[in-house]
């Protein structure tokens, strides 16, 4: 044993031997490092690609994206490698993403980054309104998208004492604040932009009212936003209600009346005919089909509903009462008539 230890010590004391071993170790380390780098470079990585051509301003849905294997060395730094960073986002306004293409950071943006993102937030049944403002009326550019405002209306130019002031519309959500060039005021913090318009949605009736008022400059009408729930200075003005303001607007507008809808006779509504006298015999006439196509019923004086399978049904009244006759279609649509039954002679036809 001692001989082995002595031989080992003698072996490692040889400088030439130690040098050779060191060179071999270094070569091994270089080989391992180089091989690892090569393997990492050619190792396939799953990358999202487009399953179809995606046009600008298009929301990217799950079926538009699939994962494929790509060599890691072929991917640049701006390639998006996560599916979750793509689905639900939008293609940029100036980017067409071809089928089979990878997604890049400059071609995929969020909804808020779209130049016209405000229009995607307008609720169903609302109309987009462009409300003119300036730096002063926005309280030094302090009204932001997502804030809620009230629209106040002042009538009168201050040349006499008859000035009206009141809240015309309340609790409106601001969807966007834009400058005179249509650029979002708050999308670029490095550039100072002056507010020129507030974008929000209104129900059609409120849109009409506000639009009418906006054309009444000659009557001294002024419209301005106030943060929702905020107080306004009413000194020197007569405070009025919203309805009074609406009445004023309508009184100074030309309203074209809508035509009255024509009422066509419903052929499925039963008819009710009385004979008069006491007792009074009342006859209900149903349309054809009570024996199968329709469910025909009647209710006397609010009692139980009774089924009828023929075209006519006689009912005897010995005092004043009520009668309801109904024809129900297979899809549940009901056609009804309700009438009072006096002890007099009369005929009632459902419309």
Q: Which CATH architecture has domain 44-113?
A: Alpha-Beta Complex (3.90)
The pTM assigned to this predicted structure is 0.47
pLDDT for 293: 85
3-state secondary structure the chain: CHHHHHHHHHHHCCHHHHHHHHHHHHHHHHHHHHHHHHHHHHCEEEEEEECCCECCCCECCHHHEEEEEEEHHHCCCCECCCHHHCCCCEECCCCCECCCCECECCCEECHHHCCCHHHHHCCCCEEEEEEECCCCCCCCCCCCCCCEEEEEEEECCCCCCCCEEEEEEEEEECCEEECCCCCECCCCCCCCCCCCEEEEEEEHHHHHHHHHHHCCHHHCEEEEEEECCCCCCCCCCEECCHHHHHHHHHHCCCCCCCCCCCCCCCCCCCEEEECCCCCEEEEEECCCCCCCCCEEEEEECCCCEEEECCCEEEEEECCCEEEEEEEECCCCCEEEEEEEECCCCCEEECC
pLDDT for 130: 92
Can you give the pLDDT of all 351 residues of the chain as single tens digits? 555 556 656 655 656 666 766 666 777 777 666 666 655 555 778 899 999 998 877 889 999 999 998 887 777 888 898 999 999 998 887 778 999 999 998 889 887 777 666 666 777 778 889 999 999 999 999 999 889 999 999 987 666 556 888 899 999 999 889 888 877 788 655 678 899 999 998 888 899 999 999 998 888 899 999 998 777 777 767 778 888 888 888 888 876 554 554 445 678 889 988 877 778 889 999 998 888 888 899 888 877 788 898 889 999 888 888 888 888 888 777 788 888 887 654 444 333
pLDDT for 220: 85
**Domain-wise residue ranges, the chain:** 2-39, 44-113, 117-251, 271-349
Report the topology of domain 271-349. Answer: Immunoglobulin-like (2.60.40)
Whether residue 177 contacts residue 200, with contact meaning beta carbons closer than 8 Å, is answered with no
């Amino acid at each position: 044993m001692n001989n082995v230890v002595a031989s080992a010590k003698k072996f490692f004391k040889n400088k030439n031997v130690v040098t050779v071993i060191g060179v071999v170790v270094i070569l091994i380390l270089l080989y391992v490092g180089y091989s690892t780098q090569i393997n990492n470079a050619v190792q396939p990585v799953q990358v999202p690609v487009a399953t179809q051509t995606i046009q600008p301003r298009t929301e990217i849905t799950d079926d538009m994206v699939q994962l494929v294997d790509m060599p890691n060395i072929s991917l640049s730094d701006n390639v998006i490698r996560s599916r979750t960073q793509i689905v639900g986002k939008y293609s940029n306004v100036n980017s067409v993403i071809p089928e089979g293409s990878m997604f890049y950071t400059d071609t995929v943006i969020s909804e808020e980054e779209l130049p016209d993102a405000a229009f995607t937030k307008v609720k169903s049944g609302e109309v987009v309104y462009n409300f003119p403002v300036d730096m002063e009326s926005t309280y030094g550019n302090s009204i932001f998208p997502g804030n809620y405002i009230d629209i106040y209306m002042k009538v009168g130019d201050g040349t006499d004492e008859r000035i009206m002031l009141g809240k015309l519309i309340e609790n409106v959500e601001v969807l966007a604040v834009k400058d005179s060039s249509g650029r979002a005021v708050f999308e670029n913090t490095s550039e100072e932009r002056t507010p020129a318009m507030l974008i929000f949605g209104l129900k059609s009736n409120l849109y009409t009212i506000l639009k009418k008022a906006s054309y009444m400059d000659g009557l001294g009408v002024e419209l301005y936003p106030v943060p929702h729930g905020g107080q306004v200075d009413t000194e020197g003005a007569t405070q009025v209600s919203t309805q009074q303001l609406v009445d004023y607007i309508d009184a100074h507008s030309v309203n074209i009346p809508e035509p009255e809808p024509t009422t066509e006779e419903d052929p499925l509504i039963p008819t009710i005919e009385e004979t008069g006298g006491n007792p009074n015999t009342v006859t209900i006439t149903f349309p054809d089909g009570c024996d199968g196509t329709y469910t025909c019923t009647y209710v006397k004086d609010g009692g139980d509903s009774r089924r009828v399978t023929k075209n006519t049904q006689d009912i005897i009244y010995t005092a004043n009462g009520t009668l309801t006759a109904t024809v129900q279609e297979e899809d549940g649509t009901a056609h009804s008539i309700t009438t009072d039954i006096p002890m007099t002679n009369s005929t009632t036809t459902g419309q």
